[in-house]
């Protein structure tokens, strides 16, 4: 049989108390005066209410206390407590709501724990050394790679990061002295190891934190170095074969012609040998200039005078006004850059009238734009044009744009390539 709700039972108790008071008053009127009868009846009803109220409210009080204790458990991150259901529909609904909340929080806590366990497993297994430093300068979290690199495999959590660094190699301390990303080399177990350092600062719980990431690049750089050397050897072997094979053939032909002299034939043989030798010398000279690029020696340069000197080398026109403020760069090196860029523009199929050079002030420096209306650049060329040994020309060495970029970056500037709207290419150089 379904029990009445708490409100129903309280109402029934009040009605019963009222009826009892009325009946008792009617009985007492036979022996006592009306005021006395009313007082006796009221006292009796009050005593009855004090005895009956706790018994009527006991289920409600029990459930409320259980929910209160459960909320305190939730506050302590204990989601295992449940409230037993009662026969009262209202209290049963309250118990069900609390138990459902506990189940949701318990499952979310379990899912979160599993994710944290997975993330920690991944971080601990990665070769990337990771250290998280709190606002007070103490290590909050570190992985296995960081402990092996910085503390001989011992625990780092709770230690002062500066104290840990005091026993680290000098290159590592110097690299961590700045706030930016950098590459550095330090000796470990008697071998030089190259590392990349990345540092990030962020707010966590309104407090400043510092994340340090150290990645060993020795193997990757070694693999890249081997790949570059293989490519260099292939390119050099290809160029040497292209030049030495015809020279060998022509030398044999010249030896035969020497037995039966023919001045015209001999002259053509020697001219061809000279051309191939000159090409080979130019090819080797390009590699030598790339490998022995001197440090720039900046001087004050007038843009107007600089561009007037270029006008005598290759055809182009100046687009817009030239800045009156002088620039500061190595004039001979930047002149070589401009000659290479103008030569590429001339070889793109653009008419000389469409090859332009614009110089504009771009604080804190200058932006130089070399543009043409040639065939433009393909996606692969845009991606790889600045890489060493990449060339779209049959006889190209792939060092022209690479040398240009090296010179500009040695000045602290940047060089970028893009296609122009309506066709053609645009090379932008920024110099500080």
Domain boundaries along the sequence of the chain: 6-98, 126-216, 223-291, 299-431
HSE, side-chain direction, 13 A CA sphere, residue 204: 12
Helix (H, G, I), strand (E, B) or coil at 299: strand
Helix (H, G, I), strand (E, B) or coil at 186: strand
Tens digit of each residue's pLDDT (9 = 90 or more) over 403-430? 788 888 888 888 888 888 888 888 888 8
**What was the pLDDT predicted at 1?**
41
Helix (H, G, I), strand (E, B) or coil at 258: helix
User: Which CATH class for the 299-431 domain?
Assistant: alpha beta
**What was the pLDDT predicted at 358?**
92
* Cα–Cα distance, 149 to 168 (Å, whole number): 9
Cβ–Cβ < 8 Å for 411, 329: yes
In DSSP terms, 141 is beta-bridged to 132
Residue position matching structure tokens 């709700």:
5
Under CATH, which number does the domain 126-216 receive? 3.30.450.20
- Which tokens is 343 given? 């030569």
Tens digit of each residue's pLDDT (9 = 90 or more) over 41-81? 666 666 666 666 666 666 666 677 777 777 788 777 777 77
| pTM for the whole structure | 0.41
Q: Which residues touch 2 (CB under 8 Å, ≥6 apart)?
A: 87
């Amino acid at each position: 049989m379904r029990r009445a709700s708490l409100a129903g039972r309280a109402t029934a108790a009040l009605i019963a108390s009222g009826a009892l008071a009325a009946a008792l008053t009617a009985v007492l009127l036979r022996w006592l005066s009306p005021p006395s009868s009313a007082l006796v009846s009221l006292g009796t009803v009050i005593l009855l209410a004090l005895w009956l109220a706790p018994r009527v409210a006991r289920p409600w009080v029990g459930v409320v206390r259980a929910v209160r204790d459960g909320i305190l458990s939730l506050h302590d991150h204990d989601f295992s407590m449940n409230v037993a259901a009662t026969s009262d529909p209202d209290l049963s609904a309250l118990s069900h709501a609390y138990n459902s909340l506990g189940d949701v929080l318990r499952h979310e806590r379990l899912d979160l724990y599993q994710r944290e366990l997975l993330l920690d497993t991944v971080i601990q297994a990665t070769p990337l050394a990771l250290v998280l430093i709190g606002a007070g300068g103490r290590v909050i979290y570190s992985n296995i790679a960081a402990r092996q690199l910085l503390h001989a495999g011992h625990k780092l959590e709770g230690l002062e990061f500066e104290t840990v660094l005091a026993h680290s190699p000098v290159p590592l301390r110097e690299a961590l002295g700045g706030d930016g990303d950098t590459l550095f080399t330090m000796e470990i177990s008697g071998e030089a190891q190259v590392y990349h350092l990345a540092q990030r600062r962020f707010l966590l719980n309104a407090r400043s934190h510092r994340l340090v990431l150290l990645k060993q690049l020795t193997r990757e750089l070694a693999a890249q170095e081997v790949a570059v050397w293989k490519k260099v050897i292939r390119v050099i072997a290809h160029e040497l074969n292209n030049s030495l094979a015809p020279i060998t053939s022509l030398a044999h032909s010249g030896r035969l012609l020497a037995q039966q002299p023919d001045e015209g034939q001999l002259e053509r043989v020697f001219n061809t040998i000279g051309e191939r030798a000159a090409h080979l010398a130019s090819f080797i000279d390009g590699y030598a200039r790339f490998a022995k690029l001197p440090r720039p020696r900046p001087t004050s340069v007038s843009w107007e005078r600089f561009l007037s000197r270029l006008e005598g080398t290759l055809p182009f026109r100046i687009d817009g006004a030239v800045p009156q403020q002088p620039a500061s760069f190595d004039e001979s090196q930047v002149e070589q850059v401009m000659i290479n860029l103008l030569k590429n523009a001339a070889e793109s199929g653009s008419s000389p009238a469409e090859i332009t050079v614009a110089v504009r002030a771009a604080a804190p420096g200058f932006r130089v734009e070399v543009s043409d209306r040639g065939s433009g650049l393909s996606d692969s060329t845009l991606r790889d044009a600045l890489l060493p040994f990449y060339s779209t020309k049959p006889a190209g060495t792939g060092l022209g744009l690479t040398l240009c970029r090296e010179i500009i970056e040695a000045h602290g500037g940047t060089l970028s390539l893009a296609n122009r709207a309506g066709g053609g290419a645009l090379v932008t150089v920024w110099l500080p």
